[in-house]
Amino acid sequence: MNLKNLLFEDKKFPLFLAPMEGVTDPPFRFLCKKFGANVMYTEFISSEGLIRNAEKSVRKLKFDNFERPIGIQIFGHNVESMKQAALIAEEQNPDMIDINCGCPVKKVVSKGCGSALLQDIEKLQKMVAEVVKVVKIPVTVKTRLGWDMNSIVIEELVERLQDVGVQIVTIHARTRNQMYSGEADWSYIGKVKNNSRIKIPIIGNGDIDSVEKALECKNKYEVDGIMIGRATIGHPWIFDEIKCKVENKNFVKPDVKELIMQHLEMEKNYKNEHYAVVSLRKHYKNYFKNIPDIKNFRQTLMDAETIEAVKSILDNYNEI
Ligand SMILES: Cc1cc2nc3c(=O)[nH]c(=O)nc-3n(C[C@H](O)[C@H](O)[C@H](O)COP(=O)(O)O)c2cc1C
C-alpha cells in the first residue's frame, strides 16, 4: 500500500493527532477523529513489552476501525526485538507502523531508545531498514532535529530513512536536549522540505496551538501535513477549527459539558471509573479556558472521585 495515496491525495492537507503516552488512548482518539483529525497513532509501545506480552503494551495495540488511517507506534533499540514487535503490531492490521526516534524522556533514552537513536544515525537507519523489510505495511518514523544544537542531523537522517523505504517522516522541531523547552524551530523543517533529494511527505510538529499558527506553519514551511499534540488536550475540536478556517466555514464550538460526560463514559468503558475520572483531570484546564473566575470550579472538578460527582458539579455550573 502506498501511504501517499491513502493520506495525501484527496485529503489535501492532513491533520495528525500526535501520539501522547497517557493521553491519546482510544477514547481520546475517538473524540479527535470526530472533530476532524485525519491521521493518528497509538501511544508508543515498548518493543520489549510487546514481545513479553506485557498487558500494558498489548492493550495499547487496540484501535477501532473508525480511527483509520492509524499507525501503531513502537519504540526500542534492539533490531531483533523491533522486528518481532513490528510483526506483532502488524497482526492488528494497522495502516502503518511508526518508529519512535524522538522520545526525550530519561527512562527511555537511558536504554538507548527514542531520541538516543539520534546519536548514531547509521545504526538507526539499519534498524529501521530491517523493520521495513520484515513487515508488509508502510513504515513511518517520528523524530526530532538531533541530539543537541551541535548535532542537528535531520536532513541527513530523512535522506537515509527515505533510502531504506520509510514512507513518511514526522519532525518535532526540537533537539533531544531541549526536551520541551524554548520554541520549536520550524526553519529546520523548512530546510528538509527544500532539500531536492527528499521526496517523501514531511509532517511538521511542535508548538501548534492555534488555528493561526497551524496555517502559518502550513504556508511558510510547505509541509505535507501538521501534527498537533499538547494543544489537543482539553481542546480536541482544534482540528475542526482549523478545517473550518481553511474551508471558510463557520466553526461551532461543541457543548463542553456534554463532551466531558461522553469522554468520561468512554474512558470508563475502556478501563474503569477511577481511570476515567483521573484521565479527565489532564483536560479540565483547557476544557475551561479563558473563563473569568474559573479556578475554584476547576479545582472542584479535579477533586471529584466519581463520574456522578463530576456530573453533579457540571450540572450545577451555569456560567457556560
Ligand atoms: C504527555 C506527552 C506524551 C507523549 N508521548 C509520546 C509518544 O508516546 N510518542 C511520541 O512519538 N511522542 C510523544 N510525545 C511527543 C508528542 O507527540 C509531540 O511530538 C510533542 O508534544 C510536540 O508537539 P506539540 O508541541 O504539538 O505538543 C508526547 C508528548 C507529551 C506532552
Q: Ligand 1, closest atom to CA 170?
A: 19
**Of all protein residues, whose CA lies closest to atom 10 belonging to ligand 1?**
19
**Of all protein residues, whose CA lies closest to atom 31 belonging to ligand 1?**
230
pLDDT at 51 over 80: yes
* Cell numbers for 66: 473508525
CATH class held by domain 256-315:
mainly alpha
Give the other-Cβ count within 10 Å of 206's Cβ: 25
Least confident range of 4-13, 66-75, 119-128: 4-13
Active site residue 103: yes
Please tell me which residue in 32, 103, 113, 217 is annotated as part of the active site.
103
Residue 49's identity, in one-letter code, is G
CA atoms of 238 and 231, how far apart (whole Å): 8
* From-to residues of CATH 3.20.20.70 in the chain: 3-246
Q: What is the mean pLDDT of the chain?
A: 96
**Of all protein residues, whose CA lies closest to atom 28 belonging to ligand 1?**
20
Question: Which of these, 4, 303, 319, lies nearest to 140 by C-alpha position?
Answer: 4
By 3-state DSSP, what share of the chain in percent is helix, strand and coil, each rounded to 5?
A: 50, 15, 40
Q: Which of 15, 16, 17, 20 to mutate to test the pocket of ligand 1 (most atoms within 8 A of CB)?
A: 20
List pocket residues of ligand 1, CB cut-off 6 Å.
Answer: 18-23, 43-44, 73, 100, 102-103, 142, 172, 205-208, 228-231
Residue 6's identity, in one-letter code, is L
Single pTM value for the model: 0.97
Question: Which of these, 211, 278, 281, 202, lies nearest to 247 by C-alpha position?
Answer: 211
pLDDT at 1 over 80: no
Q: Ligand 1, closest atom to CA 174?
A: 22
**Which residues does 45 contact at the CB level (< 8 Å), separation at least 6?**
57, 60, 61, 72, 73, 74, 75, 85, 89
* Fold of the domain built from segment(s) 3-246: TIM Barrel (3.20.20)
For 33-50, write each residue's pLDDT tens digit.
999 999 999 999 999 999
* From-to residues of CATH 1.10.1200 in the chain: 256-315
SS (H, E, C) 176-215: CCCCCCCCCCCHHHHHHHHCCCCCCCEEEECCCCCHHHHH
pLDDT at 320 over 90: no
Q: Measured in angstroms, how far is the CA atom of residue 81 from the centroid of ligand 1?
A: 23
